[in-house]
Amino acid sequence: MIEVEIDKASGFCFGVVNAIQSAERELLSPDALYCLGDIVHNNLEVERLKVLGLHTIKYDEFTRLRNKKVLLRAHGEPPLTYRLAKANGITIIDATCPVVLRLQQEIHKRFLEMKTKRDNAQLVIYGKQGHAEVNGLVGQTEGQAIVIEGPEDLDRLDFNRNIILFSQTTKSVDGFLHIVDAIKQRITEGVRFEFSDTICRQVANRLPGIKLFASRHDIIYFVAGEKSSNGKVLFEECLKANPNSIFISHAGEIEHPLPSTIKHVGVCGATSTPKWLMERVAMRIRDINASEPDNSPDKTTRTSFSALSAAIFKQATADYHKTDNVDAPIHNPYTFKTIEYYLYLKNYIDAIQWHLEDIIRNPAINPNDALTIKRRIDKSNQERTDLVELIDAYFLNLYKNATPQPNADINTESPAWAVDRLSILILKIYHMNCETTRNDATPEHQTNCQHRLAILNEQKADLSTALDTLLNDIAAGKKYMKVYKQMKMYNDPELNPILYTTK
Ligand code: SF4
């Protein structure tokens, strides 16, 4: 049987994690959020965030925008972008990576020094022409920096004038050193040549590790967006270590089983590749190559989605009731951002809210406490809706390659809303079960609750079948799904008349 290993060191770098977390945080507010350019060079992650409400815009749309909130991604922006934002009432959410920011500041400082000292040196950036980060760097020099992509561009430099060389953060160290050598060989004696290796170690430090990883497997699937610069660099390293390396952007590109001689498969990716995407690819490899029952712990491929959800919901409900305390911290046992993680969190939040709803109904409650709890319930409702949208984003990605048949129709609810109902049902079943054995209750009450418990269990079986059927139909193109960002009106200061008339 084939063994599939995901490279633990692959995946988002801290700059990208920070940008995505900023977006997710801002998306919790009802205000529209725009992102100038793709937040990360990975279409699937961009799609996931789009479902949550992130509008990706191009530069010309940005110039027409007024009084909105715009996120600047990790690549950074030139000063002109900030000036335009100020003039047009744009609120900037600045997620520029600190490594890029430091490089921008260093280039700007050197440029100002050159101007002050009337030094006619050439400020050169080794990078990709037109890349967002490079545009941001060139912007620090009033557009005067010269961008070189490789040795073939060196003829554009004047070797009789001083040269100050920087690098885009995601270029390869080997490539940079090659340029440095080539300049040293051509520069006129006595002319100054300064160079700074400004390559980000989040990329450079991954090279030895990824080479080793690639060499340990029979075949490598390298997962990255086609526009990812560091994806190209890292993939080249994989290829050097293992010629059996394949570049893919999504799991659907794997169409055929591997030859039986292949036993060890590696999955790795760029700093812009989400972990969930590598997990999806690993799942696809296991599925397409499964010729015998797979005992892998990856239950999502073997168990129906409703059964997986119900098992995790029961676990979360049981965990909550270990303390039965609405303020106890949540210890989610699943890997961050996996579907299992979201399912666990969903049910745990539902359990907290269930008990808040109980507490607020205490006739003796202090009105101030009741108000505090009411506000907490409102917030919790928003979080629950956000989680449903995240789960729908998972389904959208899962079925993105499913082509709807001409007669495909839409369901009354998206799959994640059915999952939401299943989570509540599991909580109801838990509490109804407690009622059937309550010591201080009458036998009539217990019998009545047993009857209700049977109905709830029947409802759970029906809902589970309906959910799995819906998912199968979407996969087969018999149904299609759409996701609408929920517009809660009561907590929106623009839509709740009490809030907007008292502003
Ligand atoms: S690769 Fe480095 S510089 Fe680029 S976003 Fe990631 S951490 Fe920042």
425-481 per-position pLDDT tens digit: 999 999 999 998 888 888 889 888 888 988 998 889 899 889 988 998 898 889 988
Each domain of the chain, given as residue ranges in start order, spans: 3-9+204-295, 14-96, 100-202, 305-480
Check: CB of residue 308 under 8 Å from CB of residue 341: no
Which atom from ligand 1 is nearest to the alpha carbon of 12?
6
Banded model confidence at residue 217, pLDDT cuts 50, 70, 90? very high
Q: What is the pLDDT of residue 418?
A: 95
* Tens of pLDDT, residues 298-344: 433 335 888 889 989 999 999 999 999 999 888 888 888 888 889 99
For residue 305, report the distance from its CA to the centre of ligand 1, in Å.
Answer: 36
Q: Which residues neighbour 139 within 8 Å (Cβ) at sequence distance 6 or greater?
A: 77, 78, 79, 80, 81
Phi-psi region of 164 (alpha: psi -120 to 50; beta: other; left: phi over 0): beta
Give me the DSSP letters along 253-269.
G--SPPPTT--EEEEEE
Q: What is the pLDDT of residue 430?
A: 93
Q: What is the mean pLDDT of residues 396-405?
A: 86
Banded model confidence at residue 487, pLDDT cuts 50, 70, 90? low
Residue minimizing CA distance to atom 7 of ligand 1: 15
Q: How is residue 35 written in tokens? A: 């992102």
User: Which candidate, 51, 47, 53, 80, places its Cα nearest to that of 69?
Assistant: 53
- Residue 20 pairs in a beta bridge with none
Check: CB of residue 19 under 8 Å from CB of residue 251: no
Least confident range of 11-20, 103-112, 192-201, 406-415: 406-415
Secondary structure element (H or E) that encloses residue 148, with its range: strand 146-148
Higher pLDDT, 161 or 451: 161
For residue 288, report the distance from its CA to the centre of ligand 1, in Å.
Answer: 34
- Residue 246 pairs in a beta bridge with 221
Output the ligand 1 site: residues, CB below 6 A.
13-16, 74, 97, 99-100, 169-170, 200, 202-203, 271
Q: What is the mean pLDDT of residues 20-24?
A: 93
For residue 215, report the distance from its CA to the centre of ligand 1, in Å.
Answer: 25
How many other CB atoms sit within 10 Å of the CB of residue 61?
12
Q: How is residue 296 written in tokens? A: 């892998």
Q: Given a cut of 80, is residue 60 above it in pLDDT?
A: yes
CATH fit for domain 14-96, picks 3.40.50.2300, 3.40.50.11270, 3.30.70.140, 1.10.287.70: 3.40.50.11270
Percentage of the chain lying above the pLDDT 70 cut: 96
Whether 3-9+204-295 shares its CATH topology with 100-202 is answered yes
Higher pLDDT, 291 or 122: 122
Higher pLDDT, 410 or 198: 198
Which atom from ligand 1 is nearest to the alpha carbon of 13?
6
Check: CB of residue 480 under 8 Å from CB of residue 408: yes
Q: Given a cut of 60, is residue 296 above it in pLDDT?
A: no
Q: What is the pLDDT of residue 299?
A: 39
Which active-site residues does the annotation give?
133
Q: What is the pLDDT of residue 303?
A: 55
Mutate-to-test residue for ligand 1 from 18, 137, 200, 205, highest number of ligand atoms within 8 A of CB: 200
Residue minimizing CA distance to atom 8 of ligand 1: 15
Q: How is residue 449 written in tokens? A: 């609750």
Q: Is the dihedral of CA 160, 107, 118, 156 positive or negative?
A: positive
Average pLDDT, the chain: 90
CATH fit for domain 3-9+204-295, picks 3.30.70.20, 3.40.80.10, 3.40.1010.20, 3.40.50.2300: 3.40.1010.20
For residue 169, report the distance from its CA to the centre of ligand 1, in Å.
Answer: 7
For residue 216, report the distance from its CA to the centre of ligand 1, in Å.
Answer: 27
Q: What is the mean pLDDT of residues 6-20?
A: 93
Which atom from ligand 1 is nearest to the alpha carbon of 201?
2
Q: What is the pLDDT of residue 297?
A: 40
Q: Residue 476 burial by CB count (10 A; 0-12/13-18/19+): exposed, middle or buried? A: middle
- State the architecture of 100-202 in CATH terms: 3-Layer(aba) Sandwich (3.40)
* Tens of pLDDT, residues 336-386: 888 888 999 999 999 999 999 999 999 999 999 999 999 999 889 888 998
Buried b (16+ CB within 10 A) or exposed e, 407-426: ebeebebbbbbbbbbbbbbb
Banded model confidence at residue 388, pLDDT cuts 50, 70, 90? very high
Q: What is the pLDDT of residue 486?
A: 65
Q: What is the pLDDT of residue 116?
A: 94
* Tens of pLDDT, residues 97-148: 999 999 999 999 999 999 999 999 999 999 999 999 999 999 999 999 999 9
Q: How is residue 146 written in tokens? A: 């010269």
Q: Given a cut of 50, is residue 55 above it in pLDDT?
A: yes
Q: What is the pLDDT of residue 293?
A: 40
User: Which candidate, 170, 159, 131, 169, places its Cα nearest to that of 147?
Assistant: 131
Which atom from ligand 1 is nearest to the alpha carbon of 170?
1
Q: What is the mean pLDDT of residues 69-74?
A: 97
* Angstrom distance (rounded) from CA 84 to CA 349: 41
* Angstrom distance (rounded) from CA 483 to CA 414: 7
Q: What is the pLDDT of residue 184?
A: 97
